[in-house]
Amino acid sequence: MSLASTTDDAFEDDVLNAGKPVLVDYWAEWCPPCKAMLPALEEINREFDGKLTVIKLNIDEHPVTGTKYGVRGIPTMMLFKDGQVAATMIGARPKGKVVAWINAALNLVS
């Protein structure tokens, strides 16, 4: 299962106006840690189905949004809830740490 992607132009509709929380994965094709995170993010997207959506944003192809939200290193993940950044995680992490971070930030019970 591949993750949905967004663009600078579609970010408002895909993320800020989404009806549920969105985890945005800022990444680039040349970033090995970003690629290493992909399987875990795909699993998280499946496990949180209905509670959370995971969307990727390639910062090389769509630099405006990353700059707007202060992304200075990748991978960076931001949780958006109700159109606002609820939490930010910088760097590759094991799936368990990402899930714990999501649950804490969104007050969810997995």
- Please list the active-site residues: 31, 34
Q: How far apart are CA 69 and CA 20, in angstroms?
A: 19
Residues 6+ apart with CB under 8 A from 32: none
Length of the chain counted residue by residue: 110
What's the half-sphere exposure (Cβ side, CA atoms, 13 Å) at 72? 1
